[in-house]
Amino acid sequence: MAQTTILPMHCLYGIFLEGNLKINKNDQDGMKIFKENIKKFTNELDELDKKSPQSRIGGAICFSSDIWGTITNKISKPKELKSVNTLSSYMPGTSQRDILIHIISDRMDTCFKLAQDTLGNFGDQLDIKQEIHGFRRWEERDLTDFIDGTENPEGDKLRTKYGLVAAGQPHEFGSYVFTQRYVHNLKKWNPVPISIQQDTIGRTKVDSIEIPKDKRPITSHVSRTDLNENGEDLKIVRQSLPYGQITGEKGLMFISYSCSLHNIEKQLQSMFGQLDGKHDLILQYTTPVSGGFYFAPSKKELSEL
């Protein structure tokens, strides 16, 4: 089975923790304790789910390419897994960390408890570099006031197809993960006429209807990310959430899960001008300030690290 942040839909809250492992790979005692703390995370996740099923708690621990061999020498590294820093020549904000802990729930207090307990258990074994608390807005709108994730696959069948490595394949039921924190420039965005905003996104603002391909700019966000290759849609499963402070930074904490890293990397190449020299118009109003590639092993594989 997959870890539990991938298939659920419409979670109301999320916590995103990214950091670096502070254990030497030769420190066998330290690694043993680290793996015990991973088990504590999965055990508490199960306990919270049983105690409060209505909270719809979900969680995942994900690992980078660089740290995979440190965590385990028993399980081969997923073949597509690599550092996001390999994209730094064209994409700003690349900041690969070792570990991602992603928690979702319909209650922020439940998210917070699991995150707090988990970091308490790991202690100084983890150096957290970014902590983001996300929230679902009305009608699932981003802070730009456009509905976010309209084309997100719905239902377990489609989310399994696009979000998980297929059954029978190496690392089955695992998932390639991409995180990217965007900071929105709402002072620049909000005064823009709705017609131009809609051209930028490629959808209508009120009801999120996709503007026909021949009537929207080739540089609209929809045109840049709605990709098809050899007759196959390059879809991803998104669990992104708005975040921010009224008086500080605010934007979108983007996170995607995918059966193949190729799907999200192709979208990034399209957004940042690597396919045809054209950039996504949305990048005039929002800036990526972090980014990482990870792999979320299945529950079974996580228990065997």
| Residues involved in catalysis | 148
Q: Which residues of 113-134 are buried (b: 16+ CB within 10 A; e: fewer)?
A: bbbeebbebbeebbeeebebbb
- CA dist., res. 121 & res. 101, Å (int): 13
Measured CA distances, 131 to 96, 115, 290 (Å): 14, 10, 11
Half-sphere exposure of 290 (CA within 13 A, CB side): 22
What's at 256, amino acid-wise?
A: S
Place of tokens 């934007």: 251
What's at 167, amino acid-wise?
A: A
- CA dist., res. 261 & res. 176, Å (int): 6
Please measure the distance between the N-terminal and C-terminal CA atoms of the chain and give it in whole angstroms.
15
- CA dist., res. 5 & res. 2, Å (int): 8
